[in-house]
C-alpha cells in the first residue's frame, strides 16, 4: 500500500485514489440493477482522459443505464487507446478545438467534463451551447460567479447540469443521512470533516492557481464542505477560517496548503473542518447529536467506505461509486429522478459560495456571514 501510495502521490493524483477498490465487480446499491433494463441509455462522451476520467470510463463498463460512447481529448494517442479499449467509433472523437461540433452528433446525449478545475466553466458552457447535457467534476468551477454562469447557460440551453458528487449515492453515507432525518441522532450539535493528503509533483496542475483555482480546498476540502451540509442537513450561515502555509515555494500565492475552517448553522449546530495538501491519513467525517453519533472513516475515498454509529457498525453494501453515479444520473436526466441529496449545478454553486467565503475569511481574519 505504501509503495502504491508513494507512486500515486508522485503522479499527483488525489488522495481519493488511496482507498482503492476494484473498478468493477461490486454490486450496486440500486435495487433494480440485476433486473433487465429496457429504458433509455445515457450515451456519454468523456472530456479529459486523465486519471479520474479513466476511472469513470472503467466503472461505466458495469453501468446498465449509461454508456461511454465518445471522447474529447487533447492527446491523440489516448484517443486511439480509448477507441480500442472502449470500442469508441471515430465519429464520436473530438478535441478541444472542434468539440462544439458535437451538436451535430445525435449519438451523444451528455458530455462528462473531467479536466482541470479552471477549465470547467468555459467547457461546460460550450457543451450547453452544443445542446448536450453536462456532467462536470467537482469543484464545478473556481468561484460562485462562474458556477452561476454555468447554471444559467445550461438553463438557457435547456440541458441538465449535474456534478460528480459520487458520495451522494454511497450506501453508508445515505444510511447516516436516513438516520439523521429519522431523528436517530437527536438534535445535531457538531460535525467534523477532515480531508487531506500530502501532494507530490510540484509541477502538476493541482498546484497551478490558474488551472486549479486554489489549492487543497478546491480539490479535497470541498468534500468536508459538501459533507458538512449533507451530514447536518442544513446550510451554514457563517464561516471562519485560518490558513497555515509551511512551504511557500510549492504552495504559491493563491494555492492553499492547509486551511482549518468552521461553520455555524441555523439550528445552532457547528462544524470544524480541515483541508490540507500536507498531511496524510485524513479522510474522516464525524457527526454528533444529542442522542448518538456517526463516524465514517474513510468517508469519501473510492471505497470501501467504513463507518459506525452509536448503534453499531454500518454494513450497507460496498459499491463502485462511479458506476452507481452514472446509472443514477441517467435516471435524473431521462426521468427527472430526485436523488436524496441533489447533484445539480445549484448544489455546486452553494459549495462554491462557501469556498469564496472561506477564502475571504482567511484573507480578512473575520467571520463571514453567508446566505445560500
Ligand atoms: P488529471 O491530470 O489526471 O487529468 C486531467 C485531464 O484533463 C488530462 O489528462 C487531460 O486529458 C485534460 N486536460 C485538458 N487541458 C489540460 C491542461 N491544461 N492541463 C492538464 N490536463 C488537461 O486530473 P484528474 O483526472 O485527477 O482530475 C480531473 C478533474 O476531476 C478535476 O476537476 C478533479 O477535481 C476531478 N476529480 C474528481 C474526483 C472524484 O472523486 N469525484 C477524483 C479525482 C479528480 P487529455 O489529455 O485527454 O486532454
Query: Is residue 93 a contact partner of residue 108, using CB atoms and an 8 Å limit?
Result: no
Say what the pLDDT of residue 6 is.
36
* Atom in ligand 1 nearest the alpha carbon of residue 119: 15
Ligand 1 geometric centre to CA of 103 (Å): 23
* Atom in ligand 1 nearest the alpha carbon of residue 47: 47
Ligand 1 geometric centre to CA of 109 (Å): 21
Q: Whose CA is nearest to atom 10 of ligand 1?
A: 48
Residue carrying C-alpha cell 487531506: 196
Q: Whose CA is nearest to atom 31 of ligand 1?
A: 116
Check pocket membership of 50 for ligand 1, CB cut-off 6 A: yes
Check pocket membership of 138 for ligand 1, CB cut-off 6 A: yes
Beta bridge partners of 296: 285, 307
Q: Which residues of 197-221 are buried (b: 16+ CB within 10 A; e: fewer)?
A: bebbeeebbbbbbeebbbbbbbbbb
Check pocket membership of 117 for ligand 1, CB cut-off 6 A: yes
Say what the pLDDT of residue 105 is.
98
Q: Which residues neighbour 287 within 8 Å (Cβ) at sequence distance 6 or greater?
A: 176, 180, 185, 188, 190, 191, 231, 232, 293, 294, 295
Check pocket membership of 301 for ligand 1, CB cut-off 6 A: no
Helix, coil or strand: residue 34? helix
Check pocket membership of 226 for ligand 1, CB cut-off 6 A: no
Say what the pLDDT of residue 258 is.
98
Query: Is residue 133 a contact partner of residue 162, using CB atoms and an 8 Å limit?
Result: yes
Check pocket membership of 132 for ligand 1, CB cut-off 6 A: no
Q: Whose CA is nearest to atom 11 of ligand 1?
A: 48
Ligand 1 geometric centre to CA of 55 (Å): 11
Query: Is residue 252 a contact partner of residue 295, using CB atoms and an 8 Å limit?
Result: no
Q: Whose CA is nearest to atom 41 of ligand 1?
A: 164
Q: Whose CA is nearest to atom 4 of ligand 1?
A: 50
Mutate to test the pocket of ligand 1, among 95, 118, 137 (most ligand atoms within 8 A of CB): 137
Concatenate the DSSP letters of all residues of 241-258 into one string: EEEE-S-TTTS-TT--SE
Ligand 1 geometric centre to CA of 60 (Å): 17
Nearest to 304 by CA among 288, 320, 291, 293: 320
Backbone Cα Rg of the chain: 20
Check pocket membership of 48 for ligand 1, CB cut-off 6 A: yes
Cα–Cα distance measured from residue 326 to residue 48, given in angstroms and rounded to the nearest whole number: 17
Query: Is residue 323 a contact partner of residue 29, using CB atoms and an 8 Å limit?
Result: no
Nearest to 305 by CA among 330, 284, 278, 322: 284
Check pocket membership of 116 for ligand 1, CB cut-off 6 A: yes
For the chain of 372 residues, list the mean pLDDT of each consecutive stretch of 10. Answer: 35 40 36 73 99 98 98 98 98 98 98 99 99 98 98 98 98 98 98 98 98 98 98 98 98 98 98 98 98 98 97 98 98 98 98 98 98 94
Ligand 1 geometric centre to CA of 77 (Å): 16
Say what the pLDDT of residue 12 is.
40
The catalytic residues are 138, 223
pTM of the entire structure?
0.93
Cα–Cα distance measured from residue 325 to residue 166, given in angstroms and rounded to the nearest whole number: 6
Helix, coil or strand: residue 279? coil
Say what the pLDDT of residue 36 is.
84
* H helical segments located in the chain: 2-11, 51-60, 76-86, 120-129, 144-156, 171-181, 209-212, 216, 222-232, 321-335, 345-364
* Atom in ligand 1 nearest the alpha carbon of residue 165: 41
Residue 87 to residues 24, 82, 95, 252, Cα–Cα distance (Å): 18, 7, 18, 42
Cα–Cα distance measured from residue 160 to residue 170, given in angstroms and rounded to the nearest whole number: 22
Residues 311, 315, 316, 320: what is their CA dihedral angle, to the nearest 10 degrees? 140
Check pocket membership of 219 for ligand 1, CB cut-off 6 A: yes
Cα–Cα distance measured from residue 79 to residue 68, given in angstroms and rounded to the nearest whole number: 13
* Atom in ligand 1 nearest the alpha carbon of residue 11: 3
Check pocket membership of 40 for ligand 1, CB cut-off 6 A: no
Concatenate the DSSP letters of all residues of 188-234 into one string: EEEEEEEEE-----TTSGGG-HHHHSSSHIIIIIHHHHHHHHHHHTS
Parallel, antiparallel, or unpaired: how do β-strands 161-163 and 312-313 relate? unpaired
Say what the pLDDT of residue 18 is.
39
Helix, coil or strand: residue 79? helix
Amino acid at each position: 500500500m505504501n509503495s502504491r501510495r508513494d507512486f500515486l502521490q508522485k503522479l499527483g493524483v488525489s488522495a481519493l485514489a488511496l482507498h482503492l477498490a476494484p473498478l468493477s465487480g461490486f454490486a450496486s446499491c440500486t435495487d433494480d440493477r440485476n433486473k433487465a433494463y429496457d429504458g433509455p441509455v445515457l450515451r456519454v462522451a468523456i472530456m479529459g482522459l486523465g486519471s479520474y476520467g479513466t476511472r469513470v470510463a472503467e466503472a461505466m463498463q458495469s453501468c446498465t443505464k449509461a454508456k461511454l460512447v465518445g471522447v474529447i481529448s487533447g492527446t491523440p494517442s489516448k484517443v486511439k487507446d480509448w477507441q480500442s479499449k472502449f470500442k469508441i467509433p471515430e465519429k464520436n472523437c473530438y478535441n478541444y478545438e472542434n468539440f462544439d461540433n458535437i451538436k451535430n452528433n445525435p449519438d451523444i446525449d451528455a458530455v462528462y467534463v473531467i479536466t482541470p478545475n479552471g477549465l470547467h466553466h468555459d467547457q461546460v458552457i460550450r457543451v450547453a451551447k452544443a445542446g448536450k447535457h453536462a456532467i462536470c467534476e467537482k469543484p464545478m468551477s473556481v468561484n460562485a460567479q462562474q458556477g452561476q454562469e454555468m447554471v444559467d447557460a445550461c438553463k438557457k440551453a435547456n440541458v441538465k447540469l449535474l456534478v460528480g458528487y459520487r458520495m451522494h449515492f454511497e450506501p453508508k453515507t445515505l444510511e447516516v443521512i436516513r438516520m439523521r432525518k429519522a431523528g436517530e441522532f437527536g438534535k445535531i450539535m457538531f460535525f467534523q470533516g477532515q480531508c487531506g493528503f500530502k501532494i507530490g509533483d510540484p509541477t502538476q496542475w493541482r498546484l497551478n492557481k490558474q488551472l486549479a483555482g486554489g489549492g487543497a480546498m478546491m480539490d479535497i476540502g470541498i468534500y468536508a464542505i459538501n459533507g458538512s451540509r449533507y451530514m447536518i442537513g442544513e446550510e451554514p450561515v457563517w464561516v471562519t477560517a485560518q490558513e497555515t502555509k509551511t512551504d511557500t515555494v510549492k504552495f504559491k500565492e493563491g494555492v492553499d496548503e492547509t486551511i482549518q475552517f468552521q461553520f455555524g448553522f441555523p439550528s445552532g449546530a457547528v462544524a470544524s473542518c480541515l483541508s490540507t495538501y500536507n498531511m496524510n491519513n485524513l479522510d474522516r467525517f464525524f457527526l454528533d447529536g444529542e442522542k448518538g453519533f456517526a463516524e465514517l472513516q474513510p468517508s469519501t475515498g473510492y471505497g470501501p467506505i467504513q463507518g459506525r454509529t452509536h448503534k453499531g457498525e454500518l454494513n450497507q453494501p460496498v459499491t463502485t461509486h462511479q458506476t452507481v453515479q452514472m446509472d443514477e444520473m441517467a435516471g435524473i436526466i431521462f426521468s427527472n429522478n430526485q436523488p436524496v441529496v441533489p447533484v445539480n449545478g445549484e448544489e455546486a454553486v452553494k459549495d462554491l459560495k462557501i469556498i469564496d467565503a472561506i477564502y475571504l475569511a482567511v484573507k480578512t481574519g473575520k467571520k463571514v456571514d453567508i446566505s445560500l
